[in-house]
Homo-oligomer: A and B are copies of this chain.
Amino acid sequence: MPRADAARNRSLLIDAASAELSEHGLDVSISRIAARAGVAKGTVFNHFSSKEELVSAIFCEQLGALAATGETLLEHTDPRSALQQFMTAGAELQVNDRSFCEAVTATSRAHPAVRAASDRLAQAAEALTASARQAGVVRADVTGHDIVLLLGAATWIAAPLAAARSDLWRRYLHLILDGLRPEAAHELPVAAPTNEDFATAATR
């Protein structure tokens, strides 16, 4: 059982890191995070053996939250709007969080805990996609992996103008969703990514 102050500091650190990462992206300094949490820099390394470890912990939280959203939507919402709300949630997460953008993309997929969280997200996405496909509200050649990769696209596209037009990402999310409709479908030139693709990409 950890000491009381240690537990409190750990939670303060996670909050601070989450906030700083969301505001300044992946390259915030440990010092900033420590300062925001109101602790010394050394304390950070008492709780997380390296910066990567700290960042991974937060990524896992966020990936898990989004996966949970997806799982809930799958049960309680019709397939069409479930998928739409899932993608909206994913995009929204990134609007408020610059680092999450890099998290889905991330190299840190090498980290085992992050991999696990990514896998859970991938399963949720696949379930939602399968349901939508079966209902005929999404084109037949799109997979859960596609959806995961597309999650951050709208936010990324609108990022250069985010300061001037904070809701612009919605435009591009809808554009992408229109591309996912069955009536828009034209044969795609390249096959969807597979589990192996993700696996080999992680080990590089």
Tell me, in angstroms, the Cα distance from A163 to B177 when the chains sit together.
27
With contacts A156-B153, A164-B200 taken as known, whether A179 is within 8 angstroms of B175 at the C-beta atoms is: yes
Q: Which residues of B contact A197 (CB under 8 A)?
A: 161, 164-165, 168
Tell me, in angstroms, the Cα distance from A181 to B182 when the chains sit together.
12
- B189 and A174 contacting across the interface, CB-CB below 8 Å: yes
Q: Which secondary structure dominates chain A's binding surface? A: helix
Tell me, in angstroms, the Cα distance from A198 to B152 when the chains sit together.
21
Q: Which residues of B contact A105 (CB under 8 A)?
A: 156, 159-160
- B150 and A172 contacting across the interface, CB-CB below 8 Å: yes
Interface residue total, chain A, C-beta cutoff 8 A: 48
- B171 and A189 contacting across the interface, CB-CB below 8 Å: yes
- B190 and A168 contacting across the interface, CB-CB below 8 Å: yes
Q: Which residues of B contact A184 (CB under 8 A)?
A: 178-179, 181, 183-184
- B161 and A153 contacting across the interface, CB-CB below 8 Å: no
Tell me, in angstroms, the Cα distance from A120 to B119 when the chains sit together.
43
Q: Which residues of B contact A175 (CB under 8 A)?
A: 142, 146, 150, 176, 179-180, 188
Minimum CB–CB distance from A108 to chain B (whole Å) comes to 11
The contact string, 1 if C-beta is below 8 Å from chain B, for chain A 178-204, is 111101111011111100111011001
Answer yes or no: A35 CB below 8 A from chain B CBs.
no
Q: Which of B157, B174, B178 contacts A149 (CB 8 A)?
A: B157
Answer yes or no: A104 CB below 8 A from chain B CBs.
yes
Answer yes or no: A167 CB below 8 A from chain B CBs.
yes
* Residues on A facing B (Cβ under 8 Å): 104-106, 109, 142, 146, 149-150, 152-153, 156-161, 163-165, 167-168, 170-172, 174-181, 183-186, 188-193, 196-198, 200-201, 204
Given contacts A178-B184, A179-B179, A183-B183, 15 further A-B contacts (CB under 8 A): A105-B156, A146-B172, A149-B172, A150-B157, A153-B153, A153-B172, A161-B198, A161-B201, A163-B201, A164-B196, A164-B197, A165-B193, A167-B190, A171-B189, A175-B176
